[in-house]
Structure 1
């Protein structure tokens, strides 16, 4: 299955990291506080890191945030999620987000899973 997108998954991740780096140079205190907050939010707790990434992916899809969709799809895979687990989480999101969420799921999420899994090989 081939999908065309405006940029590759890997390029989008690099673009996000570069933007975050530039922002951090310009606003170091704010970036430091944001990074500390998100690090705390995503650490292992009663919910696993894996479950938290699945939640974040669902919220990213629902809010139509392409960079976060890519970032949290990678986070899901990095935490050991299978494609089936990701797609089930997507299904729950689509139940709430309808066509908007489905359009990102059948294009961007599937493209990310495909590209990121190829990078692992």
Structure 2
């Protein structure tokens, strides 16, 4: 990972949560507003929560955001996405963003599935 090397995707998620907590203490109104906005974006609507998580995963891969890739792979699993659905999403992201997205799909996403799917 870019910022720090982790032994697991769960450690990266914990690192993110700790950073978010510190940020929230320093800028509570911004954090509250951002969290409210993102929660609203991921509510069930014309698109299901699962579909929205799959879209977010594809965007995360295309933008090379490793924390979001982990977070949204977990979100996909939490919303009941199958490994096949997740990997097809990775394929679409790779078709759009090329080799950079594919490199994350064949490493980080598969590591997330292996580590986090056992929790479901």
Q: Give TM-score, length-normalised by structure 1.
A: 0.93
Matched, 1:19 2:19: yes
1:74-119: CA deviation from partner (whole Å, max 9, x where unpaired): 0000000000000011111100111100000000000000000233
Aligned CA-pair RMSD:
1.1
Partner of 1:69: 69
Aligned length in residues = 116
Question: How far apart are the structure 1 equivalents of 2:119 and 2:108?
Answer: 16
Partner of 1:92: 92
Superposition misfits of 4+ residues, deviation over 2 angstroms = none
Partner of 1:6: 5
Question: How far apart are the structure 2 equivalents of 1:62 and 1:6?
Answer: 21
Question: How far apart are the structure 2 equivalents of 1:6 and 1:111?
Answer: 14
Question: How far apart are the structure 2 equivalents of 1:78 and 1:119?
Answer: 9
